[in-house]
């Protein structure tokens, strides 16, 4: 398994045997969908820190965006004897074999960031539709009564996060009328892919007034292209509260808005939930880590020396 084995038991050694039967500590497996964006890197680091604070042992695997590999990773984590699994699914449907293997082994699952239809004891994440909605409302307000054109840069094809962030945004924009949304390509939440896409989009949509991307990393890629083309008149909005985006909003430039999606706080809640399950406690089926709008009114108050703005 291409995994990072992180021993976080105070005074303990790395133990491939896993399980809580040895020294009484909880062992958690974390199957990550990818590490190809700052959000997921910080999600892993947050889980590592939270596990250390809880005196638990954590094993992290990276599926690299490949659901087949993720199912294999889950099986390997089960083989290690983990007490509970955290799963950030590449594909909520495609990960079903891994969840079935966990159920057969008697290992309970907590999904993180992305829910699954069935097979998990609990889900820890945020309302992605709400995040898209509050950003959409701010975009509509900034565009005013004259309307105009918005280019939307999509996350991952078939992903629940991309679907919900798009749906919430469309709902807010459609409520005011007069604004056209042009749906661009899927760029998988990766800045470099958004740069390539925006180079084409700016040529085919010269009358664009706003670019909305499903995360800040892609929005910043779009902003780079817009600046290179002298298009400081085009506003940009994203989601996640990436500090680079929050700083850009605070500077008063064309970056208009984002929504808080602190991965460290989310990881802490996920690890707390996993430990509670391992200790036999009842947990909620769905745990909302909360969000809020970031715009020029509050961005300066949220700037800090962190990768993401902290959830309020």
The C-alpha atoms of residue 178 and residue 139 are separated, in whole angstroms, by 13
Tens of pLDDT, residues 79-107: 999 999 999 999 999 999 999 999 999 99
Nearest to 292 by CA among 306, 311, 267, 305: 311
Tens of pLDDT, residues 11-58: 333 434 444 444 568 999 999 999 988 999 999 999 999 999 999 999
Q: Please list the residue range(s) of the chain that carry CATH number 3.40.50.2300.
A: 3-125+264-281, 128-260+295-302
To 5 degrees, how large is the angle CA 292–CA 218–CA 137?
Answer: 35
To 5 degrees, how large is the angle CA 129–CA 126–CA 163?
Answer: 35
Residue 62 clears pLDDT 50, i.e. is over it: yes
Mean pLDDT over the full length of the chain: 92
CATH number of 128-260+295-302: 3.40.50.2300
Give me the DSSP letters along 216-266.
HHHHHHHHHHHHHTT-TTSEEE-SB-BHHHHHHHHTTSSEEEEEB--HHHH
pTM of the model: 0.84
pLDDT score at 312: 63
Please compute the mean of the pLDDT values over residues 221-248 and round it to a whole number. Answer: 98
Tens of pLDDT, residues 266-276: 999 999 999 99
Please compute the mean of the pLDDT values over residues 120-148 and round it to a whole number. Answer: 96
pLDDT score at 207: 97
Give the homologous superfamily in CATH for domain 3-125+264-281.
Answer: Response regulator (3.40.50.2300)
């Amino acid at each position: 398994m291409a995994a990072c084995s992180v021993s976080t038991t105070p005074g303990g050694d790395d133990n491939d045997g896993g399980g809580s039967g040895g020294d009484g500590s909880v062992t958690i497996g974390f199957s990550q969908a990818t590490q190809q964006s700052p959000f997921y890197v910080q999600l892993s680091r947050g889980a590592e820190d939270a596990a250390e604070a809880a005196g638990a042992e954590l094993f992290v695997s990276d599926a690299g965006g490949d659901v087949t590999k993720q199912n294999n990773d889950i099986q390997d984590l089960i083989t290690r004897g983990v007490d509970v699994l955290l799963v950030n699914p590449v594909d909520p449907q495609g990960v079903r074999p891994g969840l079935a293997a966990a159920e057969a082994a008697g290992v309970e699952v907590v999904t993180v960031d992305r829910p699954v239809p069935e097979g998990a004891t609990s889900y820890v994440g945020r309302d992605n539709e709400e995040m898209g909605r509050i950003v959409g409302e701010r975009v509509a307000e900034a565009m005013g009564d004259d309307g105009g054109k918005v280019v939307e840069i999509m996350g991952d094809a078939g992903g629940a996060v991309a679907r919900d962030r798009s749906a919430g945004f469309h709902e807010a924009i459609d409520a005011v009328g007069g604004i056209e949304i042009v749906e661009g390509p899927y760029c998988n939440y990766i800045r470099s892919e958004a740069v390539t896409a925006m180079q084409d989009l700016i040529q085919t949509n010269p009358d664009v007034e706003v670019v909305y991307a499903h995360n800040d990393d892609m929005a910043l890629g779009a902003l780079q292209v817009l600046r290179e083309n002298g298009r400081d008149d085009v506003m940009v909005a994203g989601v996640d509260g990436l500090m680079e985006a929050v700083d850009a909003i605070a500077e008063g430039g064309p970056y208009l808005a984002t929504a808080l999606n602190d991965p460290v706080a989310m990881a802490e809640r996920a690890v707390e939930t996993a430990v509670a399950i391992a200790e036999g406690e009842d947990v909620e089926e769905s745990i909302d880590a909360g969000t809020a709008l970031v715009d020029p009114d509050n961005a300066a108050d949220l700037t800090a020396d962190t990768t993401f703005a902290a959830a309020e």
